[in-house]
Amino acid sequence: MSSILLNSNTQWVLVSTMILGIAAGIIGCLAYWKRQNLMSDALSHAALPGVVVAFLLFAEKNLLVLIVGAGISALVGAFLIQWITNASRISEDSAMGMILAVFYGFGIMLLTIANRSPGGNQSGLDSFIYGQAASMVKSDVITMLILALLVILVVLVGYKEWKIYLFDQEFAKGIGLSIKGMNAFYTIVLVTTIVIGIQAVGVILMAAMLIIPAVSARYWTQSFLVMILLSALFGGISGAVGTLISALGSGLPTGPFIVVVAASIFAFSLVFGKQKGLFINYIQYRLHQKRVRNGMQMKAEGAK
Amino acid sequence: MTYTAWIILTAALVGLSCGIVGVFLILRKTAMMADAISHTVLLGIVVAFIITREVSGPAMLIGGILAGLLTAFFVQWLHTLNVQHDASMGIVFTTLFAIGVILIATSVGNAHLDVQHALMGEITFIPFHTITIPIIGEIPEAAGLLLLVLVVVLFFIIAFYKEWKITSFDPALAASLGIPVLFMHYVFMGLVSITTVASFDAVGAIMVVAMLITPAAAAYLWTDKLLIMLVLSGTFGVVSSIVGYYIAAWIDTSISGSMAFATGLVFMVSFFFSPKHGLVSKYIRPSKVA
């Protein structure tokens, strides 16, 4: 265990998955209140063709290039979902499912071609898709760190605007906040978070990083600010602990372990959470029953 | 039959059964449940494999159904606990999928299962795994499984056609008529699960979502009649799987990926040119001013 921790590459990876967890936890809260939890799932799948096209065009596995490719393709996906939903009678979740699967299929087509191409360094690309944090090198980690910090900063600096935008759009219009602009901004922030997480967690499980910490945080607080902080904390813990566990064995994928840790935190919050947790609910229910029974008894005694 | 013919037939069976089941996914606005179930079915298959230690059709079918129903049940349960519906979906399927991937990476190891195969499918191997059926003779196992599932799906849909129709379009009315809406929901999720498991070998976990949702969504743009939508969706499914096969053969790439891509093409044509709800027809014939 200690030898793993001393390995400097593991330390770097650990830091990056932790920051990633924090960023995803924060953005997840925005997605939660926009009620677009599964949008992150659709967009992370939709990023795949962009990754492969970027790889084919530049013929190297440079993280920044792949991230830009992923980002563009996810944005195209987001635009198409929006367009299909607005212009036809297809509902949003059908549109998301379609874009997710068709883009992914297209990505797999391209990936098969890329893997066949001479010099197609396929092992690198595959880990990019299924999430293998151990395959990251220092320059990858630095790219990820900068982008994640940028995302976190954007939310914290514009905290008040985000809050108004999410909870009171009428008021937002009143004070001259452009909803369209905020929507675009939100999509960009979401897509950025998704694409920087893909290498560590994989396209399929990236959605979990955005959804699970935010929902878990909801069980502990009613305040938006506290929810963001808690969600960031849960995300950070999941990232770090998941990475550590996967580092214990060789060749273990990182993403699934991160998700399982996050899910454990969720299960704990679901049962013991201060707000609406199952345990608290049960206690309150019992107390209420007791009070009702006592009240009835007192009434009965009074009647005597 | 030749090797190519078997592949095309299997692909067409995937397209047909997915297309038919998909209609109800679209109408019940639970399209993303297909995504959730297709991911968790992986866990069911892995567990079935760990228990029986062999890759066998029936065991995988049962594992897949159980995993699918478990997913539906968990999602429903979390939703009753006030978790947003799509969030509960997101939590349940990513977690179960992650457990599946971990099981593959640790205990099953380098056996017949690997994540990549499960996610992308490998239709090119299908003609090699054959079973012998009396009268018909030797057919690929996957094609036999798909045929069986298609029969089951058709049976359920035809036998309870009216019930499906009412529960899909007006659940409240259905409940007031005494139709067990929740039970029907679980039966439907079971149908989605078996279709997914049967299609798994051919197209993999994620492309099956394309086969389930896209042809049905395309058909939804052409008609307002359920029966016509079912026929159209099944046809679109078959057409896209065959077109997908030839695209893949033409540029030499993944067949399942091309099939998913072809469903996208079918939808795109419908989105622009469908006479009823297409963009072009809307442009030419502006909707009546109310």
Kindly identify which residue of chain B lies nearest to residue A100, measuring between CA atoms: B210
Is A204 part of the contact surface with chain B (CB cutoff 8 Å)? Answer: yes
The minimal CB distance from B213 to the residues A45, A87, A101 is found for A101
Average pLDDT over residues A77-85: 93
Structure token digits, residue B198: 């049967």
A107-131: pLDDT as tens digits: 988 888 887 766 555 556 666 666 6
Residue A6 lies in a domain: yes
The pLDDT of residue A43:
93
Distance from CA of B54 to the nearest CA of A (A): 23
- Give the domain CATH number at A146: 1.10.3470.10
Average pLDDT over residues B58-82: 88
Residues of A in contact with B74 (CB under 8 A): none
The pLDDT of residue A96:
93
Question: Which pLDDT band, with edges at 50, 70 and 90, does A1 fall under?
Answer: very low
The pLDDT of residue A203:
80
Distance CA(B101)–CA(B104), nearest Å, equals: 5
A143-166: pLDDT as tens digits: 888 999 999 999 988 888 888 888
The alpha carbon of residue A106 and the mean position of all alpha carbons in its chain are separated, in whole angstroms, by 23
Question: Which pLDDT band, with edges at 50, 70 and 90, does A238 fall under?
Answer: very high
* Number of structural domains found in chain A: 1
Residue A277 lies in a domain: no
B 44-83 near A (Cβ less than 8 A) = 81-83
Distance CA(A105)–CA(B210), nearest Å, equals: 8
Main-chain dihedrals φ then ψ at residue B210, nearest 5 degrees = -60, -45
The pLDDT of residue A7:
64
Write the CA distances from B36 to A142, B49, B95, integer angstroms.
33, 21, 10
Residue A177 lies in a domain: yes
Distance CA(B40)–CA(B35), nearest Å, equals: 9
Residue A3 has pLDDT above 80, yes or no: no
B206-261: pLDDT as tens digits: 788 999 999 999 999 999 899 999 999 999 999 999 999 999 989 888 888 899 99
CB contact under 8 A, B30 and A253: no
Distance from CA of A93 to the nearest CA of B (A): 6
A240-249: pLDDT as tens digits: 999 888 888 7
Main-chain dihedrals φ then ψ at residue A251, nearest 5 degrees = 75, 10
Residue A186 lies in a domain: yes
The pLDDT of residue A267:
93
The alpha carbon of residue A111 and the mean position of all alpha carbons in its chain are separated, in whole angstroms, by 24
Residue B91 has pLDDT above 90, yes or no: yes
Query: Where are the alpha helices (H) located in A7-137, listed in sequence order?
Result: 8-33, 39-46, 48-58, 63-87, 92-116, 122-130
Which residues are within 8 A (CB) of A16 and not within 5 positions of it... i.e. 6 or more apart? Answer: A133, A136, A140, A141, A144, A145, A148, A200
Is A212 part of the contact surface with chain B (CB cutoff 8 Å)? Answer: yes
B 126-165 near A (Cβ less than 8 A) = none
Q: What number is the ipTM of this complex?
A: 0.88
Residue A140 lies in a domain: yes
The pLDDT of residue A4:
54
Instruction: Say which residue the tokens 């998909």 belong to.
Output: B22
Residue A9 lies in a domain: yes
Is A77 part of the contact surface with chain B (CB cutoff 8 Å)? Answer: no
The mean predicted confidence, pLDDT, of chain A is 85
Helix A206-218 and helix A39-46, axial crossing angle in degrees, nearest 10: 160
Range of the domain at A194: 2-210
| β partners of residue B138 | B132
Measured distance between the N- and C-terminal CA atoms of chain B, rounded to whole angstroms:
58
Measured distance between the N- and C-terminal CA atoms of chain A, rounded to whole angstroms:
72
Q: Which CATH number fits domain B3-280: 1.10.3470.10, 3.40.50.720, 3.40.50.300, 2.60.40.1180?
A: 1.10.3470.10
- SS3 for A159-207, per residue? HHHHHHHHHCHHHHHHCCCCHHHHHHHHHHHHHHHHHHHHHHHCCCCHH
Residue A274 lies in a domain: no
Task: Return the closest-CA partner of residue A235 out of A276, A273, A201, A270.
Answer: A201
Domain ranges of chain B: 3-280
Residue A116 lies in a domain: yes
Residue with the bigger pLDDT between A202 and A268: it is A268
